[in-house]
Every structure is written in structure tokens, then in C-alpha cells.
Homo-oligomer: A and B are copies of this chain.
Amino acid sequence: MRSPLTFSIHHKSKENAARTGTVTTPHGSFKTPAFMPVGTRGTVKGLTPQQIRATGSEILLNNAFHLMLRPTDTRIAKLGGVHTFMRWDRPILTDSGGYQAWSMADINTIDDDGVTFKSIIDGSKIRMTPERSIEIQNNLGADIIMAFDDCPSSVEPQSQSVARRRHALTARDGVLTKKQHESRLLQSLDRTARWLSRCDVAHQKRDSQALFGIVQGGTDLDLRHRSVQQICNVDLPGYAIGGVAVGESPEKIAEVVKFTANLLPDEKPRYLMGVGYERDLVAAVAAGMDMFDCVLPTRNARNAHAFTRKGPLNLRNARFAEDMGVIQEGCTCAACANGNSRAYLRHLFACKEMLGGILLSIHNIHHFQSLMIDIRLAIEDNSWSVLSKRWPVLTTST
């Protein structure tokens, strides 16, 4: 059977493990390294598909978990799939719902077969298994679908209170001893491997949807190594690194990603899930990662947090009240190109007018896409050091 996904590598950096490429799917291609904006419920909040496209985005992420609850995956299947539903005719990736089932839901039971949890909509009991997750994603019809994995916290016990505040830990995880934590990680690793095989067997649309496996293992490099061996034992069109950016330091993220990326097959796209800030992305690309998603540009935009090359701005700040400059001088996003000023944005945020979050979402996604463009150029030109000159934010602490 022909693979629904091809990955061609164009250039490998002479300076690090970074590479540029193109991923081709049934809904067209996207350039890598690629950043995917998050459209949780089949919408990148407040933006039309045209506005999303104009940010330079070539592929979106949707959440299988949320769409399964509303409007339901069977309904989306009946209506022609998620591309038709949200009027985005380019590539889409759906996550499996594993992370959401763990981080958001009130979990009742977990066993080797799957997870039972309460719906966040109506409290009804929902059973999720590898087979059901793949069925949901087959119904949604994204170009790339993700394996259903067991996602415990990757955070060590001493950091758990921080992680809990960041919603990276579920109530069920409790506060574990170091030994309990290690035991839980090992259990989840082996379970994730068994579940991947079940996902692969359950996958009904091999000719139109590419299934990616997910490597877990927390911050323990031995466990990451073990997980890579287990996951890559299943021949798949791509592999992801999960379970990072849940409360670790940027240095720890970079260390885990660098170690793990190097173990993944060279000729397949490598996807780092849920990461992150600009320097996290640059470090991960240098380690050889190809795909990224993150809610930061859009979620922060709705909270008046502007990303700029020199670092973040809080556009609610009174110092912008009469600042007629655009969000970032020289920016070519639709919000800046149209001359929307910091003063106007501050006014919109002060009045809780939704246009503030919309214009800033456009700018912030464009910011990340501009970074990806510059990253791709730096790889092709072997001019990695230019990046930090053009993006001072990479060398400042956040």
C-alpha cells in the first residue's frame, strides 16, 4: 500500500543536526521545520482559514479529544471530515486525545486496556482505548494522526508542585515518591508500546492518513532510549517526542530532545509535541526535529501577550496607551502591515474587545512562522549564527 505521506529532505546543516524538507500529504505539502497553530475545536480561535493561511501556516493541529466530545467524530465523518467541516483544505494533524484525557479529564479508571473518564461537557462516562482513539481519528480524517499513549507526568517529584500549577499533573498522579515515579514511568512506557501496536492494527485508513508513534520517557535518558527502541520497532511514516514542556527548564527540554532526536530514524519526520518558546524551537531544530505545535502564540495573544524578536510585550501596559507604533516595527503580518498600533491594541484589550486577541493571534502566529522561515534559511545557508542576531529574543531569558 502506498504511504499517504512522503518526506523529502532538502538540506542538512553543516553546523548541527538540523535539516530542511517537505512533507507531502493528501491535502498538499508543508515545508519543514514546520510550526502548526492549534485549532482545538476545529477553529484557531477567532481566525478565518484565510487569516490563518496569511500567517504563513501550512498545516494545523486539531484536538481529537475535543472534537470527539463536540460535535462528535461520527458527525464530522458524516459531514465529510474535518477539512470540509472547518474549511481548511491543507494538511491537518490530530492528536490522539491521550494528553487531554490525562491532563483535563476527571479520570475514573486506568488499566492496561484503556482509560475511563468523565466528559467535561456533561459528566457522562467515556471509555478511551487505542482502538477507539484511532477510530475517532479515522472519522475526523486528518492527514497525520497520533498514537494513543499513556502520558504520566515526566516531572520529577521535587518539581511536581510547579507542574501541578501548570496543569501538567492530574489529580490521579498525586505526589509520588521518586521510586513510585520511576515505576510509573516504566509502566507507562511499556503500556505505550503495547498500545502503539494496537493503534497500528486498528488503523483503517492507511492509504489516506499517516500514523505517528510517540516516544515517552520523561527526563530519564535511559527510559527515552528504551522508548525509542520500542516505538521505532513499529514501522511508521513518522515519530514524535511527547511528554516534554510540562514544567521542565529550557535546558532540560533541550537535553532530552537532543538525546532523543538523535536516536530517531533520519529519513522520517520528527515531531516535538507541545513545544514551545522560540529558543526551545531553535534548540529542537538544531537537534534534528522537523515539526512543532504550541498554543503559546494564540493563547497568549488572547491575554495581550505579544511576541516580538526582542522579547514579549504586555499590550495591556499603560506605557502603550499613546504608542502609535505597530506591534513590531517592520513586521509584515496582516495586523502590523495594516498599521494597527500598540495604542489601538491596548484600547481593544482594555475594553475586552475580541478584535485585540484576533489581531494579536495573527501577529503571534506570523511571528512563529517568520522564525521558521529564518530557521529554514539558516539551515540552507549554513548560517545558523545569524539567527540569534536577527532574533535577539533567543539570547535573552524569558
Give residues in A with beta carbon < 8 Å to B. 41-43, 45-50, 70-71, 75, 78-80, 84-87, 321-322, 324, 334, 338-341, 343-344, 346-348, 350-351, 353-355, 358-359
A343 to B344 alpha-carbon distance, docked (Å): 34
B residues near A322, Cβ cutoff 8 Å: 75, 78-79
A47 nearest in chain B by CB position: B355
A286 to B56 alpha-carbon distance, docked (Å): 48
Q: Which of B48, B71, B340, B348 contacts A359 (CB 8 A)?
A: B48
How many copies are assembled? 2
Give the 7 A-B residue pairs with the shortest CB-CB distance, closest first: A71-B347, A43-B355, A46-B354, A41-B351, A43-B353, A354-B354, A87-B339
A47 to B340 alpha-carbon distance, docked (Å): 13
A346 to B355 alpha-carbon distance, docked (Å): 21
A347 nearest in chain B by CB position: B71
Q: A355 and B75 in contact (CB under 8 A), knowing A42-B347, A43-B348, A350-B70?
A: no
Q: A50 and B338 in contact (CB under 8 A), knowing A87-B344, A321-B71?
A: yes
The distance from the CB of A85 to the nearest CB of chain B, in whole angstroms, is 6
The distance from the CB of A50 to the nearest CB of chain B, in whole angstroms, is 7
Are B87 and A343 neighbours in the complex by a CB distance under 8 Å? Answer: no
Q: Which of B45, B50, B324, B338 contacts A354 (CB 8 A)?
A: B45
A41 to B358 alpha-carbon distance, docked (Å): 16
A379 to B132 alpha-carbon distance, docked (Å): 61
A80 nearest in chain B by CB position: B324
The distance from the CB of A365 to the nearest CB of chain B, in whole angstroms, is 15
Q: A46 and B85 in contact (CB under 8 A), knowing A324-B80, A351-B41?
A: no
A339 to B83 alpha-carbon distance, docked (Å): 12
B residues near A355, Cβ cutoff 8 Å: 43, 45-48
Q: A324 and B87 in contact (CB under 8 A), knowing A43-B353, A71-B347, A71-B350?
A: no
Are A353 and B70 neighbours in the complex by a CB distance under 8 Å? Answer: no
Q: A78-B322, A354-B358 are in contact. List 11 more A-B contacts (CB 8 A).
A: A41-B347, A41-B353, A43-B348, A45-B354, A48-B338, A50-B338, A70-B350, A71-B346, A79-B343, A85-B341, A358-B358
The distance from the CB of A100 to the nearest CB of chain B, in whole angstroms, is 15
Are B341 and A79 neighbours in the complex by a CB distance under 8 Å? Answer: yes
The distance from the CB of A114 to the nearest CB of chain B, in whole angstroms, is 25
The distance from the CB of A87 to the nearest CB of chain B, in whole angstroms, is 5
B residues near A85, Cβ cutoff 8 Å: 341, 343-344, 347
B residues near A321, Cβ cutoff 8 Å: 71, 75
28 contacts between A and B (CB under 8 A): A41-B351, A41-B353, A42-B344, A45-B353, A45-B355, A46-B46, A46-B354, A46-B358, A47-B355, A48-B358, A48-B359, A49-B338, A50-B334, A50-B338, A71-B321, A71-B347, A75-B321, A75-B322, A75-B343, A78-B322, A79-B324, A79-B341, A79-B343, A80-B324, A85-B341, A85-B344, A87-B338, A354-B358
B residues near A41, Cβ cutoff 8 Å: 347-348, 351, 353
B residues near A79, Cβ cutoff 8 Å: 322, 324, 341, 343
A334 to B70 alpha-carbon distance, docked (Å): 25
The distance from the CB of A299 to the nearest CB of chain B, in whole angstroms, is 14
A334 to B71 alpha-carbon distance, docked (Å): 24
A338 nearest in chain B by CB position: B87
Are B354 and A71 neighbours in the complex by a CB distance under 8 Å? Answer: no
B residues near A71, Cβ cutoff 8 Å: 321, 343, 346-347, 350
B residues near A78, Cβ cutoff 8 Å: 322
A353 to B62 alpha-carbon distance, docked (Å): 14
B residues near A344, Cβ cutoff 8 Å: 42, 85-87
